[in-house]
Amino acid sequence: MDEISFDDFLKVDVRVGTVLRAEAFPEARKPAIKLWIDFGDGVGEKKTSAQITAHYAPEDLVGRQVMAVVNFPPRQIGKFMSEVLVLGLPDADGEIVLIGPDYPVPPGGRLH
């Protein structure tokens, strides 16, 4: 495992956002869902795609709070521009489980 400094860690801007809209992404090489996420004042609404179809359906994600890295450069995924990286952990089968707060928090809160 590579070590990083605390200053390196502080460069990664991880914030909480609320999913405003979600829809299937059938054009993706691997099954995925497109997400539009509100990160509140300062960051605003950002979009991304995530390979989370094993545990989530688009209609179940609206209103859910998720954690994401918001300061990566945008990345083209097919015809869709991904602006943030939603965070998750693999379950026993390697399928992603999203990370989010246990209790509602204001959108845009930064991970401490």
Q: What is the CATH number of the domain that holds 76?
A: 2.40.50.140
- Percentage, residues of the chain above pLDDT 70: 100
Mind listing the pLDDT tens digit for each residue in 12-53? 999 999 999 999 998 888 999 999 999 999 999 999 999 999
CA atoms within 13 A on the CB side of 73: 1
Domain with 83, as residue range(s), is: 6-98
Q: Is residue 27 part of a domain?
A: yes
112 — pLDDT class (breaks 50, 70, 90)? confident
Cα dihedral across residues 28, 91, 37, 23: positive or negative: positive
pLDDT at residue 29, rounded to an integer: 87
Question: For the chain, how many structural domains are there in total?
Answer: 1
Q: Is residue 105 part of a domain?
A: no
Mind listing the pLDDT tens digit for each residue in 69-101? 999 999 998 889 999 999 999 999 999 999 999
